[in-house]
Amino acid sequence: MIRIAAVGDTHFGADSAGTLRPHLDALDAHADLFLLAGDLTRVGTEHEAAVLARELAGVSVPTVAVLGNHDFHSNEVGAVHRVLADAGITVLEGGTRTVQADGTTVGVAGVKGFGGGFAGACGSDFGEAEMKSFIQHTKCVADSLRDALDSLRTDVRVALMHYAPIKDTLSGERLEIFPFLGSYLLGEAVDAVGADLVVHGHAHAGTESGVTPGGIHVRNVAQPVIRHSYRLYCLDGNGETGPQCADPG
């Protein structure tokens, strides 16, 4: 049984020191892998990333992250990435990380994702250059996710992103902002090649559980949704998603 701890939208700032670390003391005993689903900082500064990196110091399970829109705000994304990488955290954008757990290989493919909306109410790359650029970026990111997932030759495959790939986990958010919370293209990318679990954040007022049109489990782990320092999910060697398999942080 593979145990995956996940959280997103921690929004760490200069005053966040000490708010997460106490809840991670037992993480090594409960989880085989720790996923961070973006918006790790408030406004994406190197200093905020350093505060989070110090908070995660001592976590011995492999930790894999993607960045979110907040992490890009201050145009210090390179520094944010470097600080986290120096702390031993793998930050993915179109890449993968493979870990061994309980005799099983687990592959994580990660992207930030982007917006655009969902079937029946989505944007298209038509008209003004700005609109074309918006949707073409989403298509590019979705293609990157599909290729990364397809490259994994592991027993279990997990797709990690910040933006939502389905609208089910946005339930509770205002319909008007769905196009800015995710894109169906991300879900199509996952369904095209398959995965055992999808993890995302971003939707603070959304819903934890959903499923892609192809039947793949999706979990919104934004901290305001899960209301804990992390949520723990179980996958067996056949990729079956179980209930929460230990007390959350």
Q: Where are the domains of the chain?
A: 2-235
Class of 2-235 in CATH: alpha beta
CA angle (109 as vertex; 223, 187 as ends), nearest 5: 75
pLDDT for the residue numbered 249: 43
| Residues ≥6 apart with Cβ < 8 Å to 142 | 183, 185, 186, 188, 189
pLDDT for the residue numbered 21: 87
- Mean pLDDT, consecutive 10-residue stretches, the chain (249 aa), reads 96 94 90 98 98 94 98 98 97 97 94 96 94 97 98 97 98 97 98 98 98 98 96 78 51
Rounded to two decimals, the pTM is: 0.95
How far apart are the C-alpha atoms of 21 and 220, rounded to whole Å? Answer: 22
pLDDT for the residue numbered 245: 65
